[in-house]
Structure 1
Amino acid sequence: MIPKIIHFCWLSGDAYPNKIQYCIDSWKEKLPDYEIRLWDLSRFNIDSSIWCKEAFEVKKYAFAADYIRCYALYTEGGIYLDSDVEVLRSFDDLLHLLYFIGEEQGGNIEPAVMGCERGWDFLGRMLSYYEGRHFVTDSGFDMQTLPVIMSEEIRRHYTYTKITNPKEFRMDEKALCVLPAEYFSPKYPNSFKCPVTSRTYAVHHFAASWYSVDKKAFRMVRRLFGYKVAHFFSVLIKKSKAFIFK
């Protein structure tokens, strides 16, 4: 059984923005009998992982959280939620599974919402991936996103098995069962489109706190006016910067 523990990371020490507080409040409302366990510097030894230490020191907290979520679930079991995930219904009817995880819109794995029993072998492999790995490299930062890393690791070690509902879940050491985006991440990252269904447990709102100001602005313009308009303004801004600093 997956224990009734909600894990989340908040490493900056800053007060929660309104959007984050709204999401956390949804956990308390929909999951009143679950323990909510905050992973910050008082719970996690940041020096225990060179990846986490380096990401934390340059304030790229989301990348440190990539490791910590794997560590928390592997060592304790439970459910991990990104702080910008809104819960719509209880996870109770998924707790009998060994694990659950889904896709995001677009097809990559969605690590913003995942649950498992302690010792899930896939997360053991993920911890091995990060062991000794540096976030700060000679060429800058290793900004590979966790959905891409996880998708690659799954395809390297398992058969990536898409299932349409939890009843199709099967115990197979060589297969990893993945639910559709409608379960945990129905929202499209670069638009306001969010097709919630009767099967939706949660919505990942993609706060993307690790994005630069320029990239956040690009995402907002793209949501409002589409890719072509956003790209036009992006090119215009780059040319303006090049002219100013010429």
Structure 2
Amino acid sequence: MKISKIIHYCWFGKGEMSSLEKRCMASWKKHCPDFQIKLWNEENFDVNYCEFTREAYRLGKYAFVSDVARLFALYQEGGIYLDTDILLLKPIPLHFFKQKLFIGAENKSSLNAAAFGAEKGHQLIYNLLSFYSSQLYGSESPLITESLSNIIVDIDFPILGNQKKEWGLILNPDVFYPLPYKNKALSFNKFITVETVGVHLWNASWKSEDSKNKLFKWLKYQLSKIYLPNSPQWYKEKFR
């Protein structure tokens, strides 16, 4: 096998995992019982690896640190990387491990790096690491899905089936992304197919916590106006 039986995942910031993430990780152990599962965090990844990770970590943008840490892990050790919101539904097929690299398409026109694997020292992973090493983190910094398109140029779009390339295998969306992002609030069961190995549940940890909190407070404020119309204004203002 070219790809090692190691599942890498990242968790920076020392916050608590949600029940969704714990459920997903339990599915890894269930369907990959003979795999090593390795956590990457501040203890074993240098957040000052490059200017991009240093600034992203300083600002608490941990998902962007994870973008680089996952690449570092695969380049140094090989194996599989999984986002903590990837729910496995069955074992990862053995033929994936015979590839130099495998990565899933999110849809017909783009790739996603929430679930992918590579052999140790793969040139494409090195190229992606070099890309980040030349970047400065900012509000307009690309997600890793966008960075992939800057590096991988020989994809045949639209992606309608698996594509074998010299450097690895591109998997069609049904394999890891049967549930479209726009339908993330729906049950994934109606979207899975016989090819589905896992489902990305779109926890969207790359989104700003501030934006999430503002949305939550706005919803509470709107509900207070509907269900508590006679409440004092100071009480409603708590939810602005």
1:47 and 1:203 map into 2 onto residues whose CA distance is 32
2:208 and 2:46 map into 1 onto residues whose CA distance is 27
Over the aligned positions, Cα root-mean-square deviation in angstroms equals: 2.4
1:153 matched to 2:181? The reply is no
| Aligned partner letter, 2:92 | F
Larger Rg: 2
1:214 and 1:190 map into 2 onto residues whose CA distance is 21
2:6 and 2:99 map into 1 onto residues whose CA distance is 15
Seq. identity, %: 31
| Aligned partner letter, 1:82 | D
Rate the CA distance shift 1:52–1:92 in 2: closer, same or farther, 3 A.
same
Q: CA deviation at 1:92?
A: 4.0
Rate the CA distance shift 1:169–1:109 in 2: closer, same or farther, 3 A.
same
Secondary structure in 2 matching 1:197: coil
Instruction: Extract unaligned runs of 5+ from structure 2.
Output: 217-240
Q: CA deviation at 1:169?
A: 2.6
Q: CA deviation at 1:210?
A: 2.6
1:149 and 1:193 map into 2 onto residues whose CA distance is 29
| Aligned partner letter, 1:61 | Y
Give 1:215-226 correspondences, 5 Å limit. none
Q: Which moved more, 1:188-197 or 1:115-124?
A: 188-197
| Aligned partner letter, 2:41 | D
Q: Which runs of 4+ in 1 moved over 4 A?
A: 213-220
Give 1:85-234 correspondences, 5 Å limit. 85-93=86-94, 94-105=96-107, 107-136=109-138, 141-155=139-153, 159-161=154-156, 162=159, 164-165=161-162, 169-170=164-165, 172=166, 177-191=169-183, 192=186, 194=188, 195-212=191-208
Q: CA deviation at 1:152?
A: 2.5
| Aligned partner letter, 2:11 | W
User: Size of the alignment, in residue pairs?
Assistant: 209
Rate the CA distance shift 1:15–1:217 in 2: closer, same or farther, 3 A.
closer
1:20 matched to 2:21? The reply is yes
Instruction: Extract unaligned runs of 5+ from structure 1.
Output: 221-246
Q: CA deviation at 1:177?
A: 3.9
**Deviation by residue 1:81-105 (Cα, 9 ceiling, x = unmatched):** 0011101111242111111111113
**Deviation by residue 1:101-158 (Cα, 9 ceiling, x = unmatched):** 111135211100001111111111101101142114xxxx233221111022212xxx
Indicate conservation of the 8 Å contact 2:7/2:81, yes or no.
yes
2:180 and 2:117 map into 1 onto residues whose CA distance is 22
Indicate conservation of the 8 Å contact 2:102/2:170, yes or no.
yes
**Deviation by residue 1:210-233 (Cα, 9 ceiling, x = unmatched):** 32468659999xxxxxxxxxxxxx
| Aligned partner letter, 1:187 | L
Rate the CA distance shift 1:152–1:182 in 2: closer, same or farther, 3 A.
same
